[in-house]
Amino acid sequence: MQTRAEITGWGKCVPPVSLSNADLERLMDTSDEWIIERTGIRNRQLSHVETTDLAELAARRALACAGMDAADLDLVVVATCTPEILCPSVAAMVQHRIGASNAGAFDLNAACSGFVYGTSVVAGMIESGFAERVLLVGAEKLHFAMDYRDRGTSILFGDGAGAAVFEASGDGAGVLAVDLGADGGKGGTMLIRSMGSMGEPSATNDPAIHRLHFEGQAVFKIAVHGIAASAVRVLDRAGLTTDDIDLVVPHQANARIIDSATRRLGIDGDRVFVNIADLGNTAAASIPMAIADALEAGRVSPGDTVVLTAFGGGVTWGSIALRWGDRTEPVGVHDGELPPTEMTALDLLQPNLAFYAPLHADEPPVD
């Protein structure tokens, strides 16, 4: 039987600091009702530590879940668009911290589609025989790039990390088919320049240039079409139909996007997992975090057909069809936690508010 890449371990890291819609009401002209109606989000979490710290904890939890020692890994891949530094990679730092001494390591950036793109790479490595055990992490510290007086962007995003261990399987479980796509011509709809090399070296960044640029209406239309079309293609490649799907785990971009795309596919809400209300859009971290939550909620059973589908900056999109294996309960649990903090969300956001203040000089002062 064909060798496939099967998920045998999963884990997530949710930062401890909450940013509620009520908090956002203090920073901008918005309301809890307005945000929920347009996004389905009530709350999002902010990280007081770096992206690598989030990735490391999610990785350790996934390894414990799989009952695997890090030294047994062949490869560590981290999907992120918010690394704290460009070199070394987040993956290399995670590889060192967890003791994956026999593994290669690299980062992958496909924005919110990062975990789907990463899964395609992992599946190819395992199916080819180049790797047998791979750790894939999605991790983001998105609040770094947010202007928290801009209600069109900052209401959407949160921080976090999720991870999965993939192993070679010969029993039919694992990744069945992959669909990836991109349209670089529409890349201007979502831009984060903060960590790029564009322009001259400078001691300061221009807040008008370096904040997240996000064209909400354009993104919505592209996302709904991209997700639905990609899911149809991946099912066709796997020899399946929408009736065969037991669960869709979409990128948690926006509740309206998820609802519109899955309705276009003819998939009822009972077969879609959504956890965006309390976590917001965590980009590459959203699907692995949702996988962990879906398993904890008992939404995945052995042998289930699961579809992962995402859309992100670039623009990129992609879908994975996979058959779940026998394991739906963790082999072990990692007890570590992030270091505690007494900071509130508004404490964490003070550097952002100060940096972007010149853009809002004519607006009423922050509460």
Which of 48, 251, 254, 352 is flagged as catalytic?
251
Q: What's the average model confidence in pLDDT over 295-308?
A: 98
User: Catalytic: 112?
Assistant: yes
- Judged on CB neighbours under 10 Å (0-12, 13-18, 19+), 281 is buried
pLDDT, one tens digit per residue, over 220-266 is 677 777 788 999 999 999 999 999 999 999 999 999 989 988 999 99
Band the pLDDT of 206: cuts 50, 70, 90: low
pLDDT value of position 145: 86
Distance in angstroms (rounded) separating the CA atoms of residues 231 and 246: 14
What φ, ψ does residue 175 adopt, rounded to 5°?
A: -70, 125
Closest listed residue to residue 117, CA positions, set 195, 183, 51, 181: 181
- Which pLDDT value is given to residue 151? 86
Q: Is 251 one of the catalytic residues?
A: yes
Task: Return the CATH number of 4-330+341-360, one of 3.40.47.10, 3.40.50.300, 3.30.365.10, 1.20.58.1690.
Answer: 3.40.47.10
CA 9/CA 66 separation, integer angstroms: 4
**pLDDT value of residue 204:** 57
State how far the Cα of 28 lies from the Cα of 54, in Å rounded to an integer.
Answer: 28
From 109, 112, 143, 254, the catalytic residue: 112
Annotated catalytic residue, options 43, 109, 254, 281:
281
Reported as a single tens digit per residue, the pLDDT across 147-160 is: 999 888 899 999 99
**Res 198 pLDDT > 50:** no
Whole-number pLDDT of residue 195: 58
Q: Examine the pLDDT at 343 and tell me if it is beyond 80.
A: yes
Instruction: Give the phi and the psi of residue 182 in degrees, each rounded to 5.
Output: -160, 155
Whether 364 shows a pLDDT value over 80: the answer reads: no
